[in-house]
Each structure stands twice: as C-alpha cells, then as structure tokens.
Structure 1
Amino acid sequence: MTDQEHTPTPTASGNADSHDADSHPEWTVQSSANDITLVLRGQWTIDDGAALAIPDDALRTGAPKDGAAQTLHVDVSGLSQWDSSLVSFLWTVKQAAARGKMNFDLAQLPDGVQRLFALLPAEPEPPAQHPKKPFAPLRTTGALTLDTLDEIGALTELGAQTARGSVKALSGHGGMRLRDLFVNIFDAGPSALMIVSVVNFLVGAILAFVGAVQLRKFSADMYVANLVGIACVRELSAVMTAIIMAGRTGGAYAARIATMLGNEEIDALKVFGIPVSSYILLPSILSLMLMMPLLYLYGSGMSIIGGYVVATGMLPDVTGAGYINQTLGAIDLTQFEFGFAKSIVFAAMIGLTSCQIGLNAGRSAADVGTAATRAVVVGIVGVIALDAIFAVIANVLDI
C-alpha cells in the first residue's frame, strides 16, 4: 500500500498547541490493488486554509492487475467542521477520478455534501465559444443601410409629429405648456451667451491674426475686415454656434429624456394618453429653433469685435472707423440671410436627433451617459455635414 499525504503549511509561526494542530485540514491518499481511499481529517473550512483543489497527479496509480476499474472512496471519519471549500475540493477530486477512469464513491460523504453534489452537473461546463463572424461585406453594408434608413424614417416621423404639435400649439389646442417653453428658451438662449461670446470672439480674433500676418505681406491690411466679416457671418459663426449648442444643449436634451425613460416617466405619460412629442419634445426643439438664429447673430457680432480688437492692435494702418466701414461694405444682407437659414436648419437637426437618441436609449444609468455622448457626436458631425451641403447649394445658386 502506498500513501500520499498533504498537510497545509501553518500560517502562523511559533508553538501551536495540539488542538490547533488537529484542526488543520489535511488529506491522504491510500491505494491498494483495486481501491483508492482519500482520507480527510481536520476542519475543512476556508478560514483554516482548506485546499480548494487536488493536484492533478495525486490520484495517479498503476492499473489493477485484473483490469477492473478502480474505485475511489472517501474516508471522512476524521472530518469535523466543513464548508463549501470541502465541496470545491471534492468536485476537483471527482474530475480527477473521471480523468483516471475511476469510480467515485459518495456513500461515506456527509448528507449535506451529497445534497450539494446532487446540484452540480455531471460534467463541468465547457468554456463558451464565441462564434467568429464571417467576413460578409454585403451583409454588413446592407445592415448599415437598413439601420440608416430606419433612423431617417424615425427622425422624419418625429419631425412630422413636432410640426403638427407646433401648429396645434399656435392654435391653443396643443399639449405644450408655455412654462416649459420659456424654461427651455432660457436654457438654450441667455444661459449660453457666455460660451457663445467667448468662442466666437476668439474665432474672430484668430482669423484676424492669421489674416494680418498674411495680408501684411501684400500691403492689404485693411482687407482683414473683409476676411473676418465674410468668413464669420457666412460660415464660422453659424457652424461654431451650432457645435456649441450640440455639445451643450443637445447632450442635455438626450440625457434628460434618457433619464425620464429610465425613471419610467415617459411610460407614465403614454399610459395617461399625453403625447410625448407635444409635452416633452416640442418645447425643447422649438426653443432651440427660436434661439439659434439669435445666437448666430450675436456670435457674428462677437466675431467681428474679436477681429476688430486684433486688427486695430496689430496693424498700425487700420483704424477703428476704417475697420467698421470696411466690414459694412464687405457684408451684405444676403450673407446674413444665408447664415440665418443655416442656423435654423442646424437647430432643427440638433433638437430632433438629440431627442430621438434620448428616446432610443436604454434604462440604466450608463445608458444616460451613452445617449448624451452619442447626441453630442451626432450633432457635431451632422452640423459639419449639413454645412458642406449648404456650401454646395450656395455654389449652385451662386450666393
């Protein structure tokens, strides 16, 4: 008979009494011709340092002479207390016995261990295999196209509902509350003046600085006013203001609606028959469409002031009166009309996409942040894409 004994290493140094020594969990493998016995002694608890697995080579024995399968018995006569660590250890013993083609005898185990073993599967579950996605460019392109068409359809439907709601609100039969409209107007307008002022002022100053450096080489210092005025009124003020509102207001709309969705406030409105498009979405979108053109005009003025400060400070030949006179001569009403129209379209796009993203968000706290981030990204990219379309239209119409 061969014995293999394992005793955990004591975790504390010094002299230990006999009681502590007896309480340490230990196991011993005793093998004979056709039987193997696993002897367990001590307290098999996780606090006492019980082993959670048996080594792979602990049950390796020679084949029996008669060719019969060996049986693994468990002797628990020296076992005192135990917890789930014993079940974990015996589970690995069972797997090792199965790999060695041995029969595992559970008869001598405590009743609680046997009941827990009955809950375990016969074989350990294999690790999940993640299916590899085949390379299918046509399928991917088709799915992306369908998703895009679904989003366009949802936005179109949301825009139609908002338009109908605005008509009803003007006639006094809509579900929009004026108080909500005024609150959203304040959030989208006066509350954004500071950041719109700073950004547009700096944009105008940067344009004037770059233009002054280059135009000075050609003795065309006065045309800095033309550069700043036309660039800001026609393009930059509308685009920069829209980007600011996409990051500031569009993300707030998406986060607010996603939070209401997670708190089941949207579901409550639907149960009571209150149209969400009129009660929640219309004040947000309408306030943004009302305030964006005004912010564009304000931003254009701040850009011109920024250019004025830099040009009069850097260029000795440019006076304040001359800069203003040159700016008024370079900008005509058509430039303001073009920028005014772009700002309204930008506002409608930001409001609709932000609200739609908020309505399609999940119901967890993480989904609120995801919806806000997605609304900002979609808003900024959409503003730049729409500005490119407006540039093509302006070129075709020779504006």
Structure 2
Amino acid sequence: MLIPLAQAEIARTTPQELVASGSWTAYGIGQIEAELKALSAPSGSTMVIDASRIEAFDSVGAWIMEKLRRRLGEESVGVDIRLLKPEFAKLLEVVGQEDIHQAGTAKQDAIPVQNWRESLGRDTAAAFEQGMALLGFIGECTLAFGKCLAEPKRLRWRTVLYNIRSAGFDAMPIVGLLSFLLGIVVAYQGADQLRQYGANIFVVDLVGLSMLREFAPLITAIIVAGRSGSAYAAQIGTMAVTEEIDAMRTIGIAPLELLVLPKIIAMLIVLPLLTVFADVLGVFGGMLMARAQLAVSYVEFLDRFAKTVSVTAYLIGLGKAPVFAAIIVTVGCFQGFRTHGGPDSVGRQTTRSVVQAIFLVIVADALFSVAFSALDL
C-alpha cells in the first residue's frame, strides 16, 4: 500500500527564516501559493529557507520556489535556500535558468527599436540574407533541372500535366474576363480625347499596342502570381510544417524534382498561352468599345490593326511571359520551403510570395521597357 505524501507546507520560524516541508509537486502543492504571496521581509535583509524536509519535488514545485525567490528579489530581499537535496537543487537550477531565458526573450521582443538606423540595418541584412538564399535556391533548381535533362525518366510528366491544368486551363476564365474589361477601359478612356481631334481610328493603335506589348502579359502574370504562386507557397509550406518534405528526403525522393520542376515546366508552357488568350480578349473588348463610342466598325478596326500592330509588338509581349513565369514559380516555391514553425507561418510565407512575385514581375517589366527602348524596339 502506497503511503500518501504530506501536502506542501511552509512555516516561519523566525522573521528571516522559513521551513519548507512536504510534497512540493503538482499533486501536493495545494494552496501554498496563496501563503507564499503573503510572505514578506524587510528590504535589504536575507530570507533563509530550510528545504531539508521537502519529501518530493517536481517542476511545479521548482517553479513556485523560483517564483518566490524572484518576487522577494524584486523587493530587495535576498533568498538563501539551504539543505535542498542535490537532485531537487538541480531541478530548481534548470527551472530558474529557463524562466530567466524566457523572461529575457519576452523583454527583448517587447522593447521597440528606437533607432531608425538600426531598424534599417536589420531590414537590409534580412533582405540580403533572403536574396542570397533565393540565389542558392535558383542554383539548386538549375542543378535538379540538369539532372532531369540527363535522365528524362526522372521527370514526372503526370505532375506536369496536372499543373498545366490547374495553373493554365483553370485560370482562363479570370484571365479572359479581366483582359476583356481592361481592353474596354483602355478604349473608353482614349475615346473622348481621340474624338476631339477626329482621330477615332487611332483607338486601334492605342488598344493594340498597349494590350499586346504591356497590359496583357503584365495583367496575366499578376493574376497568376496571386492565384497559382500563392497556391504553390501554401502547398509546399504546409508540407514543410507537417514534415512531409523531410519524409521525402528520408525515403530518397528529391523534393525539388517532385514539387518544383513540374511547376516550372508547366508555368513556362501555360503563361505564354494565357498571354495570347489575354491578347485576344483584350483586343476584342477594345474593338467593342471602339464600335460603341467612336463608330469604328469591326472591319475598319481589324484592317487598321493588321497594318499598325506589327508582329514585333506581339512577340515583345509574348517574350516577357516565360520570364514572368520563372519569377512566379521560383518565388512561390522558395517561400514555401522557407516555412517553419506552425500554421501561422504558412499564411505569412504565402503573403510574402504574392507580394514579392508581383513586385519582381513589375520590376522585370520595367527593365524590359528600358531594354526595348535602348534597342529601339
């Protein structure tokens, strides 16, 4: 038959001396915490705790003992715990160190950065670190792609076809609708100005060149970045949190070959096709608005379109699509692999992937514009 341990107790023998006894455990601690809150001593004195009569001691009792020592310390009262069994003293030391570490971390997190230069430096260092990690990720993807070229059987074509459907075919309605509306808006905004000068027919130049060179590839890339890029980051991030990626490495499956390369190949195929689809719908929307606002017939519109919009303008817009595709997939997968911790990290990395992908797409489009202007294209 087990003999129950005595409840934890603490008694004052002298104004500066306490005797702790009983079971200082989760089951035996009882109401002693309320008694400890009432304990006090003159400031500048030392409180001696005789712990020789403590029969059992666990992390709960150690935490309460450490809490008492910390509270009296804030009141400028020293605490001297004597005659505690060596194994109990070791546990008290570990709990005290962990409590101090957590308190220090919380205090550090709570202090706001007052110096803007320090904040700028931290942000710059973090951006540089992330940029270097992204370059490393691109290098790993390039090596994995090289292995697949050397051994084509390593590439999972069924996964490629699935990503073509999810990122391409399923995105056609939203891409087509927004491109059609954008063509209408461009023609409508230019209609009033062109009508004043009797230059109605030049709406064809406005719609054709703006849609084929700039708006169609850019709006398509932004839509796909928000739709598919975020999905890639969320998918890989969830797998990272649930340790599925670690399980792949354990059984000998390369995560890049299974999760990244099929997405890159699929996006390099579908984004140019979606851009062509956006070109057609955008020009069609502009043609409808030109007929309604400027009395430019469909025949006149198409005749002028064939004469003024060159194949070069079409190829310029189409040539941007593969670059945008590589940016979207690389950023989305990269942020997914950087996910760690809990589910909240998945949402955070997904948001970053969308923001960074759209930002880099716009930057790339600006660089294209500068380069084409320098080349007189």
Which TM-score band (shorter chain)? 0.7 to 0.9
Secondary structure of the 1:229 match is helix
Stretch moving more, 275-284 or 122-131: 122-131
> Which residue does the alignment assign to 1:288?
267
Instruction: Work out which of the residue numbers 33, 36, 57 in structure 2 matches 1:91.
Output: 36
> Which residue does the alignment assign to 2:280?
301
Q: Does the 8 Å contact 1:166/1:174 carry over to 2? A: no
> Which residue does the alignment assign to 1:249?
228
> Which residue does the alignment assign to 2:70?
124
Instruction: Work out which of the residue numbers 365, 376, 398 in structure 1 matches 2:354.
Output: 376
Alignment pair present for 1:332 and 2:310:
yes
> Cα gap change, 1:151/1:219 in structure 2, threshold over 3 Å: closer, same or farther?
same
Gaps of 5+ in 2: 1-13, 19-27, 75-102
Secondary structure of the 2:372 match is helix
> Which residue does the alignment assign to 2:372?
394
Q: Does the 8 Å contact 2:335/2:352 carry over to 1? A: yes
Letter in 1 for 2:308: A
Alignment pair present for 1:227 and 2:172:
no
Shift of 1:98: 4.5
Q: Name the CA distance, whole Å, in 2 between partners of 1:85 and 1:214.
A: 84
Alignment pair present for 1:206 and 2:185:
yes
Alignment pair present for 1:192 and 2:171:
yes
> Cα gap change, 1:217/1:86 in structure 2, threshold over 3 Å: closer, same or farther?
same
Q: Does the 8 Å contact 1:250/1:376 carry over to 2? A: yes
1:29-48 equivalences in 2 (<5 Å): none
Stretch moving more, 326-335 or 387-396: 326-335
1:225-256 C-alpha deviation (Å, 9 max, x unpaired): 11111011000111100000100000000000
> Cα gap change, 1:117/1:250 in structure 2, threshold over 3 Å: closer, same or farther?
closer
Q: Does the 8 Å contact 1:250/1:350 carry over to 2? A: yes
Bigger Rg over Cα: 1
Shift of 1:277: 1.6
Alignment pair present for 1:312 and 2:291:
yes
Please tell me the root mean square deviation across aligned C-alpha atoms, in Å: 3.4
Q: Name the CA distance, whole Å, in 1 between partners of 2:190 and 2:264.
A: 37
Q: Name the CA distance, whole Å, in 2 between partners of 1:398 and 1:269.
A: 50
Letter in 1 for 2:196: K
Higher helix share: 2
Q: Name the CA distance, whole Å, in 2 between partners of 1:103 and 1:302.
A: 83
Letter in 2 for 1:338: I
Q: Name the CA distance, whole Å, in 2 between partners of 1:255 and 1:85.
A: 47
Secondary structure of the 2:155 match is coil
> Cα gap change, 1:119/1:86 in structure 2, threshold over 3 Å: closer, same or farther?
closer
> Which residue does the alignment assign to 1:176?
155
> Which residue does the alignment assign to 1:23?
none
TM-score, with length taken from structure 1: 0.70
Q: Name the CA distance, whole Å, in 1 between partners of 2:49 and 2:168.
A: 79
Q: Does the 8 Å contact 1:72/1:97 carry over to 2? A: no
> Cα gap change, 1:143/1:118 in structure 2, threshold over 3 Å: closer, same or farther?
closer
1:106-134 C-alpha deviation (Å, 9 max, x unpaired): 99xxx99xx95994234335676435646
> Which residue does the alignment assign to 2:98?
none
Letter in 2 for 1:392: V
Letter in 2 for 1:256: Q
Letter in 2 for 1:359: F
Runs of 4+ in 1 over 6 A off after TM superposition: 69-73, 100-107
> Cα gap change, 1:71/1:156 in structure 2, threshold over 3 Å: closer, same or farther?
closer
Letter in 2 for 1:374: R
Gaps of 5+ in 1: 1-68, 74-82
Instruction: Work out which of the residue numbers 323, 333, 345 in structure 2 matches 1:367.
Output: 345
> Cα gap change, 1:175/1:150 in structure 2, threshold over 3 Å: closer, same or farther?
farther
> Which residue does the alignment assign to 2:135?
156
> Cα gap change, 1:134/1:211 in structure 2, threshold over 3 Å: closer, same or farther?
closer
* Number of residue pairs the alignment of both structures matches: 319
> Which residue does the alignment assign to 2:238?
259
Identity of aligned residues (%): 29
1:42-79 C-alpha deviation (Å, 9 max, x unpaired): xxxxxxxxxxxxxxxxxxxxxxxxxxx96899xxxxxx
Letter in 1 for 2:289: V
TM-score, with length taken from structure 2: 0.74
Q: Name the CA distance, whole Å, in 2 between partners of 1:106 and 1:148.
A: 55
Q: Does the 8 Å contact 2:33/2:64 carry over to 1? A: no
Q: Does the 8 Å contact 2:180/2:285 carry over to 1? A: yes
> Cα gap change, 1:103/1:292 in structure 2, threshold over 3 Å: closer, same or farther?
closer
Shift of 1:265: 1.3
